[in-house]
Amino acid sequence: MASKQITPTRMELTRLKKKLVTATRGHKLLKDKRDELMRQFLEKVRENKALREQVEAGIKAANKNFLLARAGMQDQVLNTAMLAPKQRVSVEAGMENVMSVEIPTFDFKTRTPDQNDIFSYGFAFTSSDLDGAVKSLADIFPDMLKLAEIEKSCQLMAVEIEKTRRRVNALEHVMIPELQANIKYISMKLDENERSTQIRLMKVKDMVLKEAHNYETF
Amino acid sequence: MYKIAVLGDRDSIYGFAALGLEVFPVSNGDEGAHTLRRLSEQDYAVVYVTEALAEEIPGEIERCRESLMPAVIPIPGVHGNTGMGLNMVKRSVEQAVGSDIIFNGN
């Protein structure tokens, strides 16, 4: 497994051991992060799906109403009616931190508090279908904003989960096994060196003794 | 303070003008991509795009996917629902989990 050249020294061994401790800890932390993100993501994405279905149905109904309204009046009149909207929506955007993923929170504000300001036209020349259509769209709007918030969160979390999962896998299947193999290699090599030094010393001792006293040891 | 934009063919989006959202009627994909790019550089928190238009400009939508703002949200237009919005949710699940466990393949 030792893919690149490593020097079998005691210093390298200490360094690798320290690295292994860090890697194991990092792996544990990232794994926890991934699990928690996944739990929250699944919760959010279920909500996202339900909300989307609801919003799509709402918009579909509103579109139907608009189609009816369009059919009942002249194009020019309709255009004039929609030309100058009275109401204006602005969004207050905040941040929420979920496991180091920044997800947005939206809060909308209307310029005027009057609910009827969505009707930007006099009622004399437009059909009542248009009022209904605009109202149905206004009713679905808070849900649409909620959908925007949740769907964006889901997208951001999905990206983060993918990244974290890659990191966890890289640590688990590449980094940590490689470090362990290298540590094993170095400690084996060091042991082997020690044994060979021992033997060499014994041999030398024998030779010296034999030369000095003609003395044999077994 | 952020704003909300609605992008798509005129017939699908003119109703949103009454609510006080800013509508940007576009007639083709090129124009839509241009407008979306311009909007993403301004103070827009949410951009609703009709599904029909969103399908023509997947590149721009993808570009906005990983940034915090704006949130590009597909909505059905007047010509009906193409299922593209749900597909995007599905893609998020696939990206995060590895396989689709919410929709179960339908």
> Closest partner residue to B15 among A87, A137, A155, by Cβ?
A137
**pLDDT value at position A3?**
58
pLDDT band at A81 (very low <50, low <70, confident <90, very high): confident
| Residue A17 lies in domain | 10-208
- pLDDT tens-digit series, residues B5-45: 888 888 778 778 878 788 888 888 888 888 888 888 888 88
Residue A213 is assigned to a structural domain of this protein: no
Residue A194 is assigned to a structural domain of this protein: yes
Considering only residues 13 to 72 of chain B, which have any Cβ-Cβ distance to chain A shorter than 8 Å?
A: 14-21, 45-46, 48, 65-66, 68-69, 71
* CATH class entry, domain B3-79: alpha beta
Q: Order across the sheet with B71-75: list the strands.
A: B22-25, B3-8, B44-50, B71-75
Q: Could you give the ipTM of this predicted complex? A: 0.86
**B80 contacts chain A (CB < 8 A):** yes
> Closest partner residue to A151 among B71, B76, B96, by Cβ?
B71
DSSP letter string, A170-208: HIIIIIHHHHHHHHHHHHHHHHHHHHHHHHHHHHHHHHH
Residues from chain B that touch A158, judged by Cβ atoms under 8 A, are 92-93, 95-96
Residue A34 is assigned to a structural domain of this protein: yes
Residue A217 is assigned to a structural domain of this protein: no
Residue A119 is assigned to a structural domain of this protein: yes
Contact A91 B46 (CB under 8 A): yes
Residue A104 is assigned to a structural domain of this protein: yes
CATH number reported for the structural domain that contains residue A61 in this entry? 1.10.287.3240
Q: Residue B39 in contact with residue B32, Cβ under 8 Å?
A: no
pLDDT of residue B81 exceeding 60: yes
**pLDDT value at position A142?**
85
pLDDT band at A30 (very low <50, low <70, confident <90, very high): very high
Looking at chain A, the whole-number percentage of residues with pLDDT higher than 90 is 35
pLDDT of residue A131 exceeding 60: yes
> Closest partner residue to A104 among B68, B98, B103, by Cβ?
B68
Residue A4 is assigned to a structural domain of this protein: no
Q: Across residues A148-161, what is the average pLDDT?
A: 89
Looking at residue A25, its amino acid is R
Question: Would you kindly state where each structural domain of chain B is located, as residue ranges?
Answer: 3-79
Cβ-proximal residues to B105 (8 Å cutoff; 6+ apart), any chain: none
**pLDDT value at position A173?**
94
As given in the structure block, the two tokens for residue A55 are 């919003």
- pLDDT tens-digit series, residues B84-106: 888 888 888 888 888 877 776 55
Return the HEC string of chain B: CEEEEEEECHHHHHHHHHHCCEEEECCCHHHHHHHHHHHHCCCEEEEEEEHHHHHHCHHHHHHHHCCCCCEEEEECECCECCCHHHHHHHHHHHHHHCCCCCCCCC
pLDDT of residue A1 exceeding 60: no
Q: Across residues A185-198, what is the average pLDDT?
A: 95
> Closest partner residue to A148 among B46, B78, B80, by Cβ?
B46
Q: For residues A121 and A210, which has the higher predicted lDDT (pLDDT)? A: A210
Residue A214 is assigned to a structural domain of this protein: no
Q: Which of A2-11, A88-97, A111-120, B71-80 has the lowest mean pLDDT?
A: A111-120
Mean pLDDT taken over chain A: 85
Ramachandran area for residue A94 (φ above 0: left; ψ -120 to 50: alpha; else beta): beta
CA gap B55, B28 in Å, rounded: 11
Residues from chain B that touch A138, judged by Cβ atoms under 8 A, are 18-19
**pLDDT value at position A144?**
87
Q: Across residues A144-153, what is the average pLDDT?
A: 88
Closest chain B C-alpha to A81 CA, distance in angstroms: 9
Q: Residue B46 in contact with residue B71, Cβ under 8 Å?
A: yes
Number of domains in chain A: 1
pLDDT of residue A88 exceeding 80: no
The pTM assigned to this predicted structure is 0.82
